[in-house]
Amino acid sequence: MPDNAKIVYSTDHSHPSAAAGQTAIPDRNRSINYPDGVVRVRRETSGRQGKTVTAIYGLPLSDSRMEELAGELKRQCGTGGSVKDRVVLIQGDKTAALIPILKNLGYPVK
């Protein structure tokens, strides 16, 4: 391969980008971490076969406390949900209901 060729993807672990710990394909399963302490609530359909979920990012809680909060939010919204990769997922578009609930709990919400 010529020296001036750009590598788009390589399985060769001796390549300089692989040695530096860089990956050619981003990890899409990694949760988004917001360092500013603001809880973000957004409606998502991408990657969910067209089904809508409300995702809550940036909760400063332990895993067990996050599970408890998710259970309480599911009860108050009357729907299902889960916690995955430190993101609370509530089924359906519940942004209008969740933002006031989280504000009443004392979280700064966007």
Domain that includes residue 93, residue range: 28-104
**Position 90 in a domain:** yes
Sheet holding 87-91, edge to edge: 40-44, 53-57, 87-91, 81-84
**Position 98 in a domain:** yes
Cα distance between residue 84 and residue 86, in whole Å: 5
Q: Under a CB-based contact definition with an 8 Å cutoff, are residues 98 and 77 in contact?
A: yes
Q: pLDDT (tens digit, 9 = 90+) per residue, 16-64? A: 554 455 544 444 444 566 667 899 999 999 888 889 999 999 998 999 9
The number of distinct structural domains making up the chain is 1
Report the predicted TM-score, pTM, of the whole model to 2 decimal places.
0.69
**Cα–Cα nearest to 77, from 90, 88, 67:** 90
User: Per-residue pLDDT for 4 more than 70?
Assistant: no
**Position 82 in a domain:** yes
Q: pLDDT (tens digit, 9 = 90+) per residue, 64-105? A: 999 999 999 999 999 999 999 999 999 999 999 999 999 999
**Position 34 in a domain:** yes
Residue 38 backbone zone (phi > 0: left; psi -120 to 50: alpha; other: beta): beta
CATH number, position 45: 3.30.780.10
**Position 75 in a domain:** yes
Cα distance between residue 94 and residue 91, in whole Å: 8
**Position 43 in a domain:** yes
pLDDT band at 8 (very low <50, low <70, confident <90, very high): confident
The pLDDT value recorded for residue 2 is 62
More confident residue, 46 or 15: 46
**Position 45 in a domain:** yes
**Cα–Cα nearest to 98, from 59, 63, 61:** 59
**Position 3 in a domain:** no
User: Per-residue pLDDT for 10 more than 90?
Assistant: no
Please give the span between the terminal C-alpha atoms of the chain, in angstroms, as a whole number.
49
